[in-house]
Amino acid sequence: MKVETFAPAKINLTLHVTGQREDGYHLLDSLVVFADVGDWVAAEAADDLSLTVNGPFAVDTPTDDGNSVMRAAKLMGATAALSLTKNIPVAAGAGGGSSDAAATLFALAEMTGKPVPRDQAINLGADVPVCMRATRTRMLGVGDVLDHAPHIPKLFAVLANPGVTLATADVFAKLSQSDNAPMPEEIADFESVESAADWLSSQRNDLEAPAISLQPAIADVLTALRGSDGCLLARMSGSGATCFGLYLNLEAASRAAAAISAAQPDWWVAPTRLS
């Protein structure tokens, strides 16, 4: 039996760094949504554990224990022939590795009948628990507290990455202040794309400036998104370097993506729907 599972890109609409624990881990307050673009994980029963990687970003992706797919399989205690179709950039702030790990857990659970070890998933990465939800979530703490998120209408977006990678630890090391204000305790439901974009514009990604200091090309991406026709808001996701722009509808997002791709053919650019 072959099982295939989608691993959607994770997008941080906001990312407030609100503190730092004694062990060095930072505390976050982040509104997270998921895209309809992402990777795919496939699993087939086999006597030994193996991983092959294909797709546009396969060359940047390890096939050993450096890959979260392999670590997830070992956490499940399963042997399988695994394949990963890598459609989104590596080390790009879009939760690719964490989403791949979550998809692997679900694929192997379906293949073997074993339960998903949800209480151990965070050991694979701070974003793995929220990626197992794969729906709008308010993520707090070190990624271990998953809370109710307000209603958000389907958001139409362009994702863009300039082809640079960033190590999350390096970005946090550049952060000048760790005790920043969280989002409001209560967030009202959003009735429209415009109201969501308006409220989001009053929030932050505290890692954006540190990431730009390490990879100035991120600023170029934000400039391109903000200058595109119909862009309501542009911001970096996660620790970068992927950025997103929000648009009123999918047609506007698709037109903006085409224009940005034409001007920057070496960038990864994708129109998408976030939910």
Q: How far apart are CA 110 and CA 26, in angstroms?
A: 34
Q: How confident is the model at residue 26 (pLDDT cuts 50, 70, 90)?
A: very high
CA distances from 6 to 30, 57, 120, 131, 241 (A): 23, 16, 21, 11, 22
Provide the pLDDT for residue 254: 98
Give me the sign of the Cα torsion angle 204, 209, 210, 212: positive
Architecture of the domain made up of 2-141: 2-Layer Sandwich (3.30)
User: Mean per-residue pLDDT for 131-136?
Assistant: 97
The CB-side HSE value for 27 (13 A sphere, CA atoms) comes to: 14
Q: How far is CA 199 from the centre of its chain?
A: 21
User: Mean per-residue pLDDT for 111-134?
Assistant: 96
Whether 127 is a known active-site residue: answer yes
Given a cut of 90, whether residue 1 has pLDDT beyond it is no
Residue with tokens 């797709």: 55
Catalytic: which of 2, 127, 147, 154?
Answer: 127
The CB-side HSE value for 69 (13 A sphere, CA atoms) comes to: 30
- Residues carrying CATH 3.30.70.890, the chain: 150-274
At 220-274, the pLDDT tens digits run: 999 999 999 999 999 999 999 999 999 999 999 999 999 999 999 999 999 999 9
Whether 48 is a known active-site residue: answer no
CATH number of 150-274: 3.30.70.890
Given a cut of 90, whether residue 205 has pLDDT beyond it is yes
Catalytic: which of 2, 10, 86, 179?
Answer: 10
Provide the pLDDT for residue 60: 87
At 29-86, the pLDDT tens digits run: 999 999 999 999 999 999 999 999 999 999 989 999 999 999 999 999 999 999 999 9
Given a cut of 90, whether residue 133 has pLDDT beyond it is yes
Is this prediction's pTM over 0.95?
yes
- Residues carrying CATH 3.30.230.10, the chain: 2-141
Provide the pLDDT for residue 54: 98
User: Mean per-residue pLDDT for 112-123?
Assistant: 96
CA 221-205-177 angle, to 5 degrees, is 125
Q: Kindly state the percentage of the chain with pLDDT values over 70.
A: 100
Provide the pLDDT for residue 262: 98
User: Mean per-residue pLDDT for 138-150?
Assistant: 96
Given a cut of 90, whether residue 161 has pLDDT beyond it is yes
Exposed, middle or buried, 65 (CB in 10 Å: 0-12/13-18/19+)?
A: exposed
